[in-house]
Amino acid sequence: MEKKTVNINMKQYGMVLALIAVFLIFSVMTGGKNMSPANMNNLIMQNSYIVILAVGMLLCVLTGNIDLGVGSIVAVCGAVVGIMIVDYKTSIWVAILAAIGIGTLSGMFVGFFVSKLSIPPFIVTLATMLMGRGLTYTLLKAQTKGPLPTEYTYIGAGFLPTHKVPFGNGTLDLVSVGVAILAVILIITLEIRSIHIKKKYEFPINPLWQTVGKVGVILLIICFFFYKLARYNGIPFVLVVMGVLVAVYQFMTAKTVAGRQIYALGGNAKAARLSGINTKKVFFWVYTNMGILCAVAGIVLSARNASATPKAGDQFELDAIAACYIGGAATTGGIGTIIGAVVGAFIMGILNNGMSLYGWSTDIQKILKGAVLLGAVTIDLLSKRKNN
């Protein structure tokens, strides 16, 4: 029987190549400063809350909508933590649960107006953006609440236990090396399993050289990344939080009924309703989920800053939305992946970090970020028109 083959979809992996290209360009521009172990650690910690928000935002984007209020809800949840710990001397766990509760209620608030009253999400979330920011200033009385205790700041600025050994002119964390080895084994195993399943059911498979090239690039990124972390303070705790969230939501969107319903709603809402999907219920839980992830991002942000500030989360919604579209999500909904949103978030993060290291002003940074977002959406729309 003739073996079926298919070429790799370059659009699927184009964002990974773009991420590498952007990183290498800034490496040349900054004289390698962005490759330092300390800066690699900063990339994780500075972009952790954007990645968390992008994961939730993708679900909104898949329905063909966005959430403009996430930055303000992040600030509100952080303010709740700061007030409860600093003013009311509660335990950090009570403060964390309170923040998650507030985030959940804010998400349910949006979900109610969107699903039950059919108010456009753009309008509802624009309202929550204004209301949330005003509420944050009211709760904090335009002041910073802090410092927060070290056991709380560990969430956003702490590291997993390390086992360092002398290496070169410094040390090497064996825990980070071990995690990298496990990640390499897992990726190779999953790729082999995927090939076997495709062969079993006679699905088209990629040529061997393309598969090896794809896996080789991914493994190279992983090894480089964990090597840099091993040369610094090891694995940040927030990286574990991000990893768990990305894995859970990747599985949910790709392998569960709930995930397929979101894609169906975004692809064709009328057809989804006719097929028996309760689209109002999908809208409600998507925005409730966004509120919960806003609370998680607010906790991480306040933990990293060791304080709650009125301006926390300012314009986070723009970075989260941009991450989804740069990562390949369609503006009309129904198309996009969690991994793509994460890659998009790190492209935005590398742009921010590289431009700061190079010394560009925030004004120039906003111009370039806007151009990148416009370019990504334009390419997506033009490619669809060409295919049609």
C-alpha dihedral sign at 115, 119, 123, 129:
negative
Domains and CATH numbers, the chain: 29-157+253-381 (1.10.3470)
Can you give the pLDDT at residue 12?
A: 57
What is the number of alpha carbons within 13 Å of residue 283 lying toward its C-beta?
A: 25
Dihedral, CA of residue 334, residue 336, residue 338 and residue 341, to nearest 10: -130
DSSP 169: T
Decide: pTM greater than 0.95.
no
Residues 50, 350 contacting (CB under 8 angstroms): no
Query: CA separation (Å) from 188 to 100, 181, 252?
Result: 37, 11, 22
Can you give the pLDDT at residue 10?
A: 54
Q: Which parts of the chain have pLDDT scores under 50?
A: 1-8
Can you give the pLDDT at residue 2?
A: 42
Query: CA separation (Å) from 186 to 77, 189, 190, 222, 296?
Result: 36, 5, 6, 12, 27
- Phi and psi dihedrals of 204, rounded to 5? -60, 140
Can you give the pLDDT at residue 6?
A: 47
For the chain, how are helix, strand and coil distributed in percent, rounded to 5?
75, 5, 20
C-alpha span between 312 and 49 (Å, rounded): 11
Dihedral, CA of residue 167, residue 173, residue 175 and residue 176, to nearest 10: -100
Q: Which residue reads 């939080």 in tokens? A: 241
Rg (CA), the chain: 22
C-alpha span between 175 and 235 (Å, rounded): 8
The DSSP bridge partners found for residue 145 are: 308
C-alpha span between 306 and 199 (Å, rounded): 52
DSSP 84: I
Nearest Cα to Cα of residue 70 among 85, 84, 56, 89: 56
The DSSP bridge partners found for residue 172 are: 165
Output the DSSP codes for 114-155: IIIS---HHHHHHHHHHHHHHHHHHHHTT--B-PPPHHHHHH
Can you give the pLDDT at residue 3?
A: 46
Residues 99, 297 contacting (CB under 8 angstroms): no
Residues 99, 296 contacting (CB under 8 angstroms): no
C-alpha span between 239 and 104 (Å, rounded): 23
Tell me whether residue 376 is exposed, middle or buried, using C-beta atoms within 10 angstroms of its C-beta: 0 to 12, 13 to 18, 19 or more.
buried
pLDDT 10s digits, 344-362 = 999 999 999 999 999 998 8
Nearest Cα to Cα of residue 345 among 314, 322, 364, 329: 322
pLDDT 10s digits, 263-288 = 999 999 999 999 999 999 999 999 99
Nearest Cα to Cα of residue 22 among 326, 319, 340, 351: 351
